[in-house]
């Protein structure tokens, strides 16, 4: 296979720049009080350690590494960088608070990782070489990955037939799964990290972007939806493309308040630190008029105003 060896060759300073980006990413998540994405980011780190370090490196020896760092230390970073960032990004996308959030975090992901790769090329702080690659022929990994993607497609179709997902939701999930992997593959491409091994191609970029994260995107959404139901008491459809020009704060929070006709003071206090009262009340009005025309909107607004002072 042309993509049998999926390799990376880079300098130690790539890790330095990447740690700076991760710190900025984590700082912004904390500042915005996005605790659920942080939690999932940590789960992603653990998942990557199990897959990349334990299974591929220690047990099956399909992952190979050479460099100045102790293998355990290296893989703690190697798994944390994509594991934490990718998983937390995907959860932010699942939450779909509003259009600005979708644009901001996607731009940060692409620009941040590209800056890391190019920075390590243009500013040579530490040129000690690290080589890491995975042999995709062992254990028929590509066949397994494609099979898992098909499982996700089948589950998505089942959820659509059960009216738990709309077609636009399914499309959104796979777009997110593609975007999050494309960010990594694009970074490795523009920085020549792949080309150094002589095995990079546009075909590999497309294959990896379509497969690598989409092999679990719908299943990950289902797990996240369980937490969503627990938090909001019911499962609601997510932000629709038709709502993008109207919602400015947190679509799920607004939906929960309007549908349950209840005010959780703790949540309102959290929203007070993130959004303006004008925008939040505007979203309440829009949601109730669009989705619940018979709801007692005015009473909700009065209750929110009493808390939001």
147 and 195 share a domain? Answer: yes
Last residue of a domain, one of 183, 206, 231: 231
What's this model's pTM, rounded to 2 decimal places?
0.88
Residue 217 has pLDDT above 70, yes or no: yes
Give the pLDDT confidence of 31-79 residue by residue, as tens digits. 998 999 999 999 999 999 999 999 989 998 888 999 999 999 999 999 9
pLDDT band at 138 (very low <50, low <70, confident <90, very high): low
145 and 44 share a domain? Answer: yes
pLDDT band at 2 (very low <50, low <70, confident <90, very high): very low
Domain count, the chain: 2
Report pLDDT for 123.
87
Asked if the structure places residue 236 within a domain, the reply is: no
Asked if the structure places residue 106 within a domain, the reply is: yes
Structure tokens, 249: 């704060």
Report pLDDT for 195.
58
Sorted by sequence, the CB contacts under 8 Å of residue 47 that are 6+ apart come out as 83, 87
Please classify residue 302 by burial: count the beta carbons closer than 10 Å to its beta carbon, then call 0-12 exposed, 13-18 middle and 19+ buried. exposed
Residue 197 has pLDDT above 90, yes or no: no
3-state secondary structure of 2: coil
The span from the CA of 143 to the CA of 150, in Å, is 11
Report pLDDT for 200.
56
Asked if the structure places residue 238 within a domain, the reply is: no
Report pLDDT for 38.
97
Asked if the structure places residue 156 within a domain, the reply is: yes
Residues spanned by the domain of 9: 5-231
Residue 189 has pLDDT above 90, yes or no: no
Give the pLDDT confidence of 223-256 residue by residue, as tens digits. 998 888 887 777 778 899 999 999 999 998 899 8
Above pLDDT 90, what percent of the chain?
A: 59
Strands 63-66 and 5-11: unpaired
281 and 200 share a domain? Answer: no
22 and 56 share a domain? Answer: yes
Average pLDDT over residues 213-232: 89
Residue 13 has pLDDT above 50, yes or no: yes
pLDDT band at 194 (very low <50, low <70, confident <90, very high): low
């Amino acid at each position: 296979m042309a993509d049998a060896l999926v390799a990376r060759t880079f300098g130690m300073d790539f890790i330095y720049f990447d740690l700076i980006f991760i710190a900025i990413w984590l700082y912004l998540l904390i500042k915005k009080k996005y605790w659920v994405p942080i939690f999932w980011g940590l789960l992603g780190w653990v998942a990557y350690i199990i897959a990349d370090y334990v299974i591929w490196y220690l047990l099956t020896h399909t992952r190979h590494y050479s460099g100045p760092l102790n293998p355990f230390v290296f893989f703690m970073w190697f798994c944390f960088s994509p594991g934490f960032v990718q998983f937390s990004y995907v959860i932010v996308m699942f939450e779909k608070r509003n259009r600005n959030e979708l644009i901001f975090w996607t731009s940060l992901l692409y620009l941040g990782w590209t800056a890391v790769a190019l920075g390590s090329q243009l500013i040579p702080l530490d040129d000690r070489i690290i080589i890491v690659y995975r042999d995709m022929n062992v254990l028929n990994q590509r066949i397994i990955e494609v099979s898992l993607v098909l499982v996700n497609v089948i589950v998505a179709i089942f959820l659509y037939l059960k009216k738990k997902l709309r077609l636009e939701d399914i499309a959104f999930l796979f777009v997110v799964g593609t975007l999050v992997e494309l960010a990594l593959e694009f970074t490795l491409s523009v920085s020549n990290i792949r080309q150094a091994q002589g095995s990079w191609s546009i075909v590999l970029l497309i294959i990896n972007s379509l497969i690598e994260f989409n092999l679990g995107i719908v299943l990950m959404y289902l797990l996240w939806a369980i937490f969503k139901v627990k938090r909001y008491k019911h499962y609601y459809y997510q932000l629709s493309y038709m709502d993008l020009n109207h919602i400015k704060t947190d679509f799920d929070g607004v939906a929960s308040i309007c549908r349950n006709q209840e005010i959780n003071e703790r949540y309102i206090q959290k929203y007070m630190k993130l959004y303006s009262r004008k925008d939040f009340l505007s979203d309440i009005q829009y949601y109730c008029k669009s989705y619940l025309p018979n709801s007692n909107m005015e009473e909700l607004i009065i209750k929110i105003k009493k808390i939001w002072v």
